[in-house]
């Protein structure tokens, strides 16, 4: 069967456009509906399902990704609005096939229960540690205040970010 290009596919379907996104250091081209949020484009068109779908109202932080190093709620941003930024999702946290220091710290402390909130929390914590490698407990709590967890009491999550910071490898 002859392969149809993404561009041709976008032109054939009204409401779709060829998006060119930089995700986890790679350029991705996808024919996607212009009304789709970045969250939907990541999950449904790029298959990056690590970014979780929560409230869709900007209230839970589950969908957080980094755009140019800043945490962004991907449910509140259109895919077409994201073409100029460097996007990092949880799939992009591994380095040379090894988990990010934050991921190791969360695993070491058992700070994850169902895990649904954790991708957004990891990315928000990464943005914090990139700016402030030695945050205090209150600074961590403040940075993560927009990330809701339905499972834990937050204590282990805060401890895990502190552990990663204390190990000094998280930058
Ligand atoms: S799904 Fe985006 S903030 Fe809840
Ligand atoms: S670990 Fe379940 S929602 Fe946070």
In testing the pocket of ligand 1, which one of 38, 50, 63 has its CB within 8 Å of the most ligand atoms? 63
Predicted local confidence at residue 8, as pLDDT: 61
Task: Say if CB 126 and CB 164 are below 8 A apart.
Answer: no
Ligand nearest to the CA of 148: 2
Is the CB of residue 91 below 6 angstroms from any atom belonging to ligand 1? Answer: no
Span 43-95, pLDDT tens digits: 999 999 999 999 999 999 999 999 999 999 999 999 999 999 999 999 999 98
- Using a cut of 0.85, tell me whether the model's pTM lies above it: yes
pLDDT cut 90: percent of the chain above it? 87
Which pLDDT score, from 0 to 100, does residue 93 have? Answer: 97
Distance (Å) from CA 86 to ligand 1 centroid: 20
Q: pLDDT confidence of 169, banded at 50, 70, 90?
A: confident
End-to-end CA distance of the chain: 46
Predicted pLDDT at 1: 46
Average pLDDT over residues 5-33: 85
Indicate the SS3 state at residue 32: strand
Contact 51 CB / ligand 1 (< 6 Å): no
Of all protein residues, whose CA lies closest to atom 4 belonging to ligand 2?
149
d(CA 32, CA 34): 6
């Amino acid at each position: 069967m002859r392969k149809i290009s993404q561009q041709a596919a976008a032109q054939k379907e009204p409401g779709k456009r060829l998006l060119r996104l930089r995700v986890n250091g790679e350029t991705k081209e996808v024919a996607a509906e212009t009304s789709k949020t970045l969250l939907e484009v990541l999950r449904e068109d790029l298959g990056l399902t690590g970014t979780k779908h929560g409230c869709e109202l900007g209230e839970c932080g589950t969908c957080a990704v980094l755009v140019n190093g800043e945490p962004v709620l991907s449910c509140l941003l259109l895919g077409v609005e994201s073409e100029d930024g460097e996007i990092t999702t949880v799939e992009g946290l591994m380095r040379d096939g090894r988990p990010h220091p934050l991921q190791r710290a969360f695993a070491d402390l058992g700070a994850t229960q169902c895990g649904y909130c954790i991708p957004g929390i990891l990315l928000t914590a990464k943005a914090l540690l990139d700016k402030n490698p030695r945050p205090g407990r209150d600074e961590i709590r403040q940075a993560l205040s927009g990330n809701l967890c339905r499972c834990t009491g937050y204590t282990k999550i805060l401890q895990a970010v502190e552990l990663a910071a204390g190990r000094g490898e998280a930058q």
